[in-house]
A and B are shown apart, each in its own frame.
Chain A
Amino acid sequence: MALLELRDVTRRFGDFTAVDRVNLSIEAGELFTLLGPSGCGKTTLLRMIAGFDVPDSGQILLDGQDIANTPPEKRPIHTVFQSYALFPHMTVADNVAFPLKMSGKAPAEIKKRVEKALEEVQLSRFAHRFPHELSGGQRQRVAFARGLINRPRLLLMDEPLGALDAKLREDMQRELINLQKEVGITFVFVTHSQDEALALSQRIAVMNQGKVEQIGEPSVIYGYPANRFIADFIGKINLMTAQVTQISDNDMTLEIDQLGTTTLPLKRGVKAGDQGVMAIRPEQVSVHALTRHAELPPAHTGKVLDFLYVGDVTTYIVELDCGIRMEALLANSSPGRARFFEVGDPVIVSWTREAAQFLMD
């Protein structure tokens, strides 16, 4: 049985539907992420799981029991807030001890467990400091220790790494994964940062306008997005308006604006006449200098318009002769050379059949 199951959960605010018949299930021990842009409903969903909001319809089952109407203090679910929400008038130790005090544990036991918890997050030295005396990263660790100390069934995190700078974020990401492995608690993140979601999660649910668009492992979400929105939201992608003109047993033919016709492996459920886009990831686009004459799959010629050099890789913006612009990502792998192409270089752009996907809205 799944640890947490959401069945047809809906929440409306007046005319606006924030969460629209969401179904998902989360297994024990998972690192699960709710990913989506602002306003997609992920935070509302999180609040309903935590107990700060009640769904208008649907069920929230924890270990098979519907907790949709249970008040937050009675749920074995804790939350790490975006601002960490440490109690400013209590010391670090008192903050961490709070959940234990609320569940009525004996003072001696509380003391012992708090010490252990602070050790786990390497903050033993700061036990008697106040939150305002700590740095952002330290406060976050206190928030974690506090959320984990009485081993809740589920730990929810709202944009947990948002407030940290880049270097610290990477460190914390690693720490989080390790912590989770050690402690074995189920984590549910909410974030709008797809980098974080891809790096941290075992499974991601992508949300948009109150609905769950796709649930899957990061590589599946990234490599096989279910629709145009997901493809565009996660990572960079080249999108070209296209229409299906013909279907056969194994292939489908697409008519692509400005580019022409191309044939791709058949995608299930697609029929002739469907409108959508052809999507290709920049790293799947090959760019070669126009001097090579070898036979290549659908090749297109063009010129380098601009590039973005970031050290390890370069993104080239190429304008094809037919008018379409595409982005191509190439590693700067040639020793001693910064990048392969300059602005104005004539190039051949190509990709494999399998790399391209047809997506609808």
Chain B
Amino acid sequence: MKRNNLTLWLAAIPVYAFLYIPLIVVIVYSFNDSRLNAEWVGFTLDWYYKLFNNGEMLLAARNSLIIAITASLLATVLGTMAGLAIHRYRLKVLPVLAFTPIAMPEILLGVSLLLFFLQVLNLTLGMVSTIIAHTTFCIGFVAIIVRARLQGMDDSIFEAARDLGATPWQTFRLITLPLIMPAVAAGALMSFTLSIDDFVITFFTKGVGEPILPIQIYTMIKISVTPEVNAISTLLMLLTLVLIILANRLDAGALRGE
């Protein structure tokens, strides 16, 4: 059994390395005193300074934050309801509605929403359209996490609460909510992370007005590549690192649920 593991380790380590080395390169070069991402020259925090003085970038960050907070709040509320309903009432339609946006390529959702906003709702593409779009695909994630948590619980406790005198609202407030809270919180964090990082759907629904972070980064990559990109990347990685670890602490199964 030990020998077996050795071969596995030898095969697995390169894969882990493959996963991390590119990211490390990005981080390291964010401190590189050179415009080119070619070789190490010297240590500097210049690029971070430039970043914080980049008005466009700061605005984009602010907008992304607003979108992420709003979308994750909406998605958490709706997703929790969906997760509860799917589990308790064994619904057939709602799971399809909630989980398909996650399974399909993102571009399809982005494109169809673009059509919908412009054609039917006559809505100018911008923050609102992006918030709606993000909420749509985050609902499914929250629903999965909440439902998974409910499936691991003894269902009869909810009936027991009613049996012992609690109204449906009291049952929800005193029994259901406290018990699903870790899953709800993990779902909220996941939604936030997904929203901040989303590129494809945002690309189609953001319109031409306000800048949004991932699109900013994209523009920088396509047009003028400077290590500022590395700097913002490093900061973003730090943020999502913290969020993912938090989500994992709250509900370890959340990440596996997918």
Contact = CB atoms under 8 A, between A and B. Distances in A.
Instruction: Judge A-B direct contact (beta carbons within 8 Å).
Output: yes
Interface string B166-180: 110010000100110
A63 to B, nearest CB: 18
Interface string A39-80: 000000000001110000000000000000001110001110
A77 B162 CA distance: 11
Contact of B164 (A52, A88, A89, A99): A99
B157 A72 contact: no
A73 B162 contact: yes
Interface string B138-176: 000000000000000110110111111111001000010
A52 B156 CA distance: 11
Contacts of A72: 159, 162-163
A73 B167 contact: yes
Contact of A103 (B154, B165, B178): B165
A150 B163 CA distance: 12
B150 to A, nearest CB: 13
A227 to B, nearest CB: 34
Contact of B170 (A71, A81, A102): A102
Contact of A71 (B154, B162, B175, B178): B162
B157 A85 contact: yes
A89 B159 contact: no
A52 B157 CA distance: 13
Contacts of B170: 102
B156 A85 contact: yes
A89 B163 contact: no
Interface in A234-293: none
Contact of A98 (B153, B159, B161): B161
Contacts of A77: 163
Contacts of A110: none
A85 B178 contact: no
A350 to B, nearest CB: 51
A85 B179 CA distance: 14
Contact of A88 (B157, B162, B167): B157
Interface residues of B, number: 17
B160 A73 contact: no
Interface in B106-165: 153-154, 156-157, 159-165
A88 B158 CA distance: 11
Contacts of A222: none
Interface in A83-134: 83, 85-89, 98-99, 102-103
Interface string A332-356: 0000000000000000000000000
B161 A78 contact: no
A87 B156 contact: no
B179 A78 contact: no
A85 B160 contact: yes
Contacts of A99: 164-165
B166 A102 contact: yes
Given A87-B175, A89-B178, A89-B179, A102 B156 contact: no
A153 interface: no
A146 interface: yes
Contacts of A146: 164
Q: Which of A52, A82, A87 has the most CB of B within 10 A?
A: A87
A88 B157 CA distance: 9
Nearest to A76: B165
Contact of A73 (B154, B157, B166, B178): B166
A187 to B, nearest CB: 15
Contacts of A71: 162
Given A72-B163, A73-B166, A98-B164, A81 B179 contact: no
B162 A81 contact: no
A83 B157 CA distance: 9
A51 B166 contact: no
A85 B159 contact: yes
B153 to A, nearest CB: 8
A104 to B, nearest CB: 9
B161 A79 contact: no
Given A87-B175, A88-B179, A73 B156 contact: no
Contacts of A85: 154, 156-157, 159-160
14 contacts: A52-B159, A72-B159, A72-B162, A73-B163, A73-B167, A79-B160, A85-B159, A87-B157, A88-B157, A89-B179, A98-B165, A99-B165, A146-B164, A150-B165
Closest 4 CB pairs of A and B: A102-B165, A85-B160, A85-B156, A99-B164
Given A51-B162, A85-B157, 7 more contacts: A73-B164, A77-B163, A87-B161, A88-B154, A89-B179, A98-B165, A98-B166
